[in-house]
Each structure stands twice: as structure tokens, then as C-alpha cells.
Amino acid sequence: MCHWLKESLIRGRTCYKQDFYGIESHRCLQMTPAINECSHQCVFCWRVQGKDFEVKEWAEPKEMLDALIQRQRKLITGFKGDDRCTAEMYEEARNPNQVAISLAGEPITYPYLSDFLKECHSRKMMTFLVTNGTYPERMEALDTLPRQLYVTVAAPDRETYGKVCRPKIDDGWERIRRTLEMLPSLDTRTVIRHTLVKGLNMHSPEKYAELDRIADPDLIEPKGYVFVGGSRQRLTMDCMPSFEEIRDFSAEIGSETGTEILKEKEDSRVVLLGHPGIELNVMKLYGLQ
């Protein structure tokens, strides 16, 4: 279960995606259609690594979405009757209207992703998709795009990329650049995420900015690494930048890209860069609120 789903239901604390983009944390369904399949072995990744496997049979989109909602309902059953969770919020949580497609694997490897997105949209569900950018041909082949597309750029240059993302493919850096070059042509909200690890990839803001200018995204999200999951076997607590360090680094990227800090959330260690006046609320942007 997502930490922020629980926090939202019983403590009224929401994740940065609600504060930034207007989705509701307690109605967010986080999932991956391709568990543990990824072209990277990022040192900061929380997933279990070295356990990749070949999927022999993929789930059908409608069947999968129905099953995901049922399992989400099962996950939150214990909140029913909890005095800290209102009956109204509990009922809303049983009917998610936002799908966060990322988690423990590279979701764009799912062969029916377009149909899955189409199924979500037919049910008036918001969709956020996170990709590592090494599958430009699959991105180009999508008939239906997510409402908000994230591309994670976790290195400012090829050398850092090799050390931090530890790609399983030889041309990962070139593939990411091809994806960034494609982004301006895509008819959807685009976000570049920089996952920042102190002492490893938190340098050369001007080079990050150069990549951002290629992608010309609607928004940029510099986000600090968090010491959780499998990453604890590879990194230390000292690799977590302070929020002040994240903010200062973000400001440097902003000055290079001509963007400003629009939002920030300290407990999620994230800053949002963009141009003033942009409509941040994706629910309003797509007529879902």
C-alpha cells in the first residue's frame, strides 16, 4: 500500500502529486504492468534487483484494471470503521480515479499499454506514466498517451549515467536522448524528473538544464533520493540530500532553463520548476474536476 494513501485516509496528509497536480492521494492506484522488467539497475532504486524474468503471458488491459481495483479495495479493507478515516473518504478510496503507472519495473515494456491507458481514460481515470526513457520506439508506437508523462533523467552526462543507472544495454544514453528529442512532439503533459543522489549525480546543473532544453517539458521535478528498499544495500543515509540542497540545486537548473520554482514539498523532498501561469491541476486540465 502506498504510504501516502494511508496518510491521507487517517491523518489528512497528502502526497506531493495532490499538492502539485490536484489528484487525490486516497484515490490513487499505484501499479506496474511489468514487474521487475527494466533496462536499468539504478543504484537508488528501491526494487529488488537481479530477479528479472521473462513474462510469458501478459494480462489483458480490462481484466487487469478490474483486478487492480479489486485488490486495492482488499488492501484498504482495514480502514473501514477506523475512527480516523471517514466513511466518505473510505468509499472514495474504494473507487480510485488516478492510476500511477510505475513502481517495480519499466511499464512501457507492457505490450498492451495503449489499450490499458484507453481503458483507464474510458473510466474517467487520470493516468501518470513514469518511464526511464530507454524505449523511444515503444513511446513512439503508443496510440494513446498517458495524461501526464514522466521521463526520469538521473544523470547529467554519459559517465555519470553509467555509474548511477548501471544500464543493461549498451546504447542507453543515446536512447534517452532520442526520447528527450521526441517529447516536444507529444500531445500530453510532460515532466522531466531528476532523482538526485548526493555525492553521485547531484552535480553539473547546467548539463541537466541542457537535457531539459532538448525535451522542452511542461514541468521539471528535481526530487531527492530516499534511503528505502533495496537501495539500502547499495547506498547510505548520507546519500540523501537535504531539502535545502535540493532547493538550491533546483534553483540553479531553473536559472539555466528560464523556469521558476512553482511548488515545493519538503516531506516528499521534491521541487517543481516551470513557467508562471501554467495550469498545474491536471484534473482541471482534462475536465475531470
pLDDT tens figures, 145-154 = 999 999 999 9
Domains for the chain: give ranges and CATH numbers.
3-51+58-285 (3.20.20.70)
Burial call 257-276: b when 16+ CB within 10 Å, e when fewer: bebeebbbbeebbbbbbbee
| pLDDT for residue 163 is more than 70 | yes
Is residue 68 scored above 80 in pLDDT? yes
The predicted-structure confidence for 97-108, as pLDDT tens digits, reads as follows 999 999 778 999
Distance CA 30, CA 105 (A): 12
The predicted structure's pLDDT at residue 73: 98
- DSSP H helical ranges for the chain: 3-11, 16-21, 61-75, 87-93, 113-122, 136-141, 158-164, 172-182, 205-215, 243-257, 282-285
Do 8 and 30 meet the contact criterion of CB atoms below 8 Å apart? no
Over residues 10-31, the mean pLDDT reads: 96
Name 82's Cβ contacts closer than 8 Å, sequence gap at least 6.
9, 10
pLDDT tier at 52 (50, 70, 90 boundaries)? low
Q: What is the mean pLDDT of the chain?
A: 95
Global pTM reads 0.95
pLDDT at residue 53 greater than cutoff 70:
no
When pLDDT is cut at 50, 70 and 90, the band that residue 51 belongs to is: low
For the chain, the residue count is 289
Residue 144: how many other CB atoms lie within 10 Å: 15
Summarize pLDDT for 81-94 with one digit per residue, the tens: 899 999 999 999 99
pLDDT tens by residue, 223-270: 999 999 888 999 999 999 999 999 999 999 999 999 999 999 999 999
Percent of the chain with pLDDT over 90: 90
Task: List pLDDT tens digits, range 170-196.
Answer: 999 999 999 999 999 999 999 999 999
